[in-house]
Amino acid sequence: MKFFIDTANLAQIRDAHDMGVLDGVTTNPSLMAKEGITGKDNILKHYVDICNITDGDVSAEVIATTFDEMVAEGEELASLHQRIVVKLPMIKDGVKAAKYFSERGIKTNVTLVFSAGQALLAAKAGATYVSPFIGRLDDISTDGLQLIEDIRLIYDNYGYETEILAASVRHTMHIVNCAKLGADVITGPLSAIESLLKHPLTDNGLAQFLADHAKAAATATV
Ligand code: E4P
């Protein structure tokens, strides 16, 4: 399973990259705004900065909501760097644009997906990635993981190659359960990825090993 980080924060992207587990980055307009990145030139430059840190795909979301505008904006984004993936909203024109880009060999990520039917449309349009938002479904008392299971079943039934990019991941058990259900990719904050490291038995075990080593070394020098 691939790990993408869901942020526009360059320091966090570098941190995840340096850990050696980063396969790509997803951003969205809210995440760009959170980092204070505004104005077209700054936004485009920021995408290039992100591409220069990671070796993986970088999703850059269009602001446009009509087909013609999405095509123009997506082409400009795709021309920035070979690793840019054009992120399109799950609306009718977004599906049309996904088809347009897939026919031209430009990678796409269809975002804001909350149902299996929407995921089926994204696959039929030839999207590279589909992004079901599991955390936001959980927020409204709907089982986000069930959606991952349903999409996996549908895609496997027909051999769709669209990768399931579980998005809106909030914590470690989202990641572990997405892996069990066969999601191709997860995207989440650095904190969720780093929390996978934690286990008290690891910490206690390491402390014991180091203490025993120090004791033995002290005895040997007496
Ligand atoms: C996906 O690509 C989105 O950027 C993201 O995962 C949304 O997550 P949130 O629900 O935590 O905002």
Q: What is the pLDDT of residues 24-41, one digit of tens each?
A: 999 999 999 999 999 999
Which protein residue has the closest C-alpha to ligand 1 atom 10? 168
Give the residue whose CA is nearest to atom 12 of ligand 1: 168
CA trace torsion 131, 134, 137, 141 (10° rounding): 170
Q: How far is CA 9 from CA 5, 12, 34, 46, 182, in A?
A: 10, 6, 9, 10, 28
* Share above pLDDT 90 across residues of the chain, in percent, rounded to a whole number: 98
170 Cα to the center of ligand 1, angstroms: 9
The set of catalytic residues is 87
Which domains does the chain carry?
A: 2-221 (3.20.20.70)
The two most distant CA atoms of the chain are separated, in Å, by 80
pLDDT tens track for 89-109: 999 999 999 999 999 999 999
Write out residues with Cβ below 6 Å of ligand 1. 6, 26, 28, 111, 131, 133, 135-136, 167-168, 187
Question: At residue 157, what are phi and psi to the nearest 5 degrees?
Answer: -55, -35
109-127 as b/e, with b when 16 or more CB fall inside 10 Å? bbbbbbebebbbbbbebbb
pLDDT in tens, 166-208: 999 999 999 999 999 999 999 999 999 999 999 999 999 999 9
> What does pTM read for this prediction?
0.96
CA distance 5 to 193: 8
Token digits for 2?
A: 């691939």
Q: Can you give the length of the chain in residues?
A: 222
For the stretch 53-68, pLDDT in tens is: 999 999 999 999 999 9
Residue with CA closest to ligand 1 atom 5: 168
Q: How far is the CA of 32 from the centre of ligand 1 (A)?
A: 12
